[in-house]
Structure 1
Amino acid sequence: MGPFDNKYMFRVHMVQIILVLAALSVTGVRLLTTKSVPGVTPSRAKTMALGVGAKSLIIIIYELATSHTKKFRKWHSLMANMILNCLEQVF
């Protein structure tokens, strides 16, 4: 079982999804429980995790769908996955 084996990568993606969903839920709870002044929108620091988490979920779902679903297999590309994983930190 190598580091790029399909079964191993599937487990890694599942752990990543769990961590992203945990971060999104903690951010949602933080937004709902903090006291805010009426008429003032939450600060960017409080809402940034929502955008970053959504981006990460979209990238992971794309990688899972193209590697494990027969319908989307034609768009599977290791080069595209590498580029997305490298640029994810930049975005």
Structure 2
Amino acid sequence: MGEVVVILKIMPESPDVDLEKLQADIRAKVSGIEDMKVEPIGFGLSAIKIAMITEDDEGAGDKIEGLFSQIPGIDRTEIESLNRLL
């Protein structure tokens, strides 16, 4: 089917979450990550933005969100964009 590029916004549970440790946990548990950066949101809270490549399977978005929901320190995961690679 091909591959897709997924851009995700990961929201930590609180401003007290160690973002460096959270990024390390994410890299250890999720494959296909191409880029990861911290983006300030406001009021001391920051999000982690992730660009990753994955297979274009049915339900891929749900599978990705499920992977991140199992990592401690993550409140929610939002898929900001999903684009097919040509």
TM-score with structure 1 length normalisation? 0.28
Q: Which has the higher contact order (CA 8 A, sep 6+)?
A: 2
Structure with more strand by fraction: 2
Larger radius of gyration: 1
Structure with more helix by fraction: 1
